Amino acid sequence: MPLPAQPNDPLTAFMDYPDIPVAHSATGTLVGLTMAVKDLFDVKGFPTGCGHPDILAGAAPATRHADAVEKLLSSGVRFAGKTLTDEIAFSLNGINHHYGAPVNPKAPDRISGGSSSGSVSATAGGIVDFALGTDTGGSIRAPASYCGVFGLRTTHGRLNLAGCMDLAPSFDTLGWFARDMATYRRVGDILFDRADAVSIDLPTPAVVDDVLPVMDPGPRAAFLETIARLRGVLGDIGSVKISGGRLDDWYVVGRTCQLRDIWVQHGDWITRENPVFGPGVRERIEWAKGLTRAETETADRRRADIRARVVEMTDRHGILILPTLPGIAPLKSAPIGHIEKFRDRALKNLCLGGISGVPQISLPIAQFDGAPLGISLMGSPGTDEALMDFAAQIEAALGTL
């Protein structure tokens, strides 16, 4: 049954859990900020439902906070609640078959995006200052684009995911949403170890031409117009074809490796409990179950080559620029088949960061037809802070939605 709207949750972004006090430090650099936490992360005293009622039914209250949650609470953040996620975080749509769909505050007739749907909704709607999420196949970047907020897929393996449900460990990353870069960077200062940071020296940014044919014509024109505006901030912007015309093949590689990881993590539970999954998720689970060893071994070999190519290009250009997604968020009224087809197209944009493990931040600096259209900056592994710095410069020069 969909979650009921609550007086303090008009966007249906939060799980309907009891109001359990969560202590936070009275001192620290984040005092005064409020955060929401995707219901994949443990918060002491709360269950971790992972977007599925069968998991929630067997979940005891967590006995400790996830590491990232503990860091933030110790820095003075006030916890506002746990947010809705798609079923086992295995979707980009933000439509949970069991619990419903949070509202997209920037485009209420359109989907919010998943699987960090509640976190992005609560942030974009101003209920909290920022919210934790995860990005496996695009679940920070896609919702950020749909809802017009900032969202960074961090360098794979750089931030600690202890106390968070694994979906596909060789893809899973921690991320968060915020409406402005000042807040975004304050959170990053707590989560990142600056000793691991990598700078971007003398960037010669380039647009990733590979993904432009995937875009709808109107959003493509809006993206190119935004590139013209970005030249006033970043200087000359070139172009590059990373995949050599093989983007469709790269998408298949990313999809295959991710599905294999998911089945390894969750296949035993799915086989044993036979849980009910909604449209889209159900079909992908069956796909994961049917993968052959030959398919996954071939994909693993190709993935290593793709990662090397993407890292080579980010090292060479400093920053790669691309539309976060092929277009704006689909309408909520669209048939599920249409939304799923858009998801498949979206993964052709999103797979570059997922396969390679490099950081990518989506900026809310473009729109089409009155809805947000995220523009992404991608860098080499470890350049997360540098990308945030460039995002802040762009925000100051161009403003946001």
Annotated catalytic sites, by residue?
38, 115, 139
Report the relative pairing of strands 238-240 and 206-208 from DSSP bridges.
Answer: parallel
Q: Residues near 210 by Cβ (< 8 Å), separated by ≥ 6? A: 241, 242, 243, 245, 247
Let me know: does 74 contact 28? Beta carbons within 8 Å: yes
Q: Residues near 302 by Cβ (< 8 Å), separated by ≥ 6? A: 249, 250, 253
Query: d(Cα 238, Cα 175) in Å, to the nearest integer?
Result: 29
Cross-strand pairs, 31: none
Nearest to 137 by CA among 314, 304, 257: 257
Query: d(Cα 176, Cα 155) in Å, to the nearest integer?
Result: 13
Q: What is the maximal distance between C-alpha atoms in the chain?
A: 57
- Give the chain's radius of gyration (CA, Å): 19
Query: d(Cα 281, Cα 278) in Å, to the nearest integer?
Result: 6
Let me know: does 143 contact 38? Beta carbons within 8 Å: no
Tokens of 57: 């039914």
Chain Cα centroid distance, residue 187: 16
* CA terminus-to-terminus distance, the chain: 34
Secondary structure letter of residue 27 according to DSSP: S
Query: d(Cα 159, Cα 34) in Å, to the nearest integer?
Result: 21
241 φ, ψ (degrees, to nearest 5): -110, 105
> Letter for the amino acid at 201?
D
Secondary structure letter of residue 139 according to DSSP: T
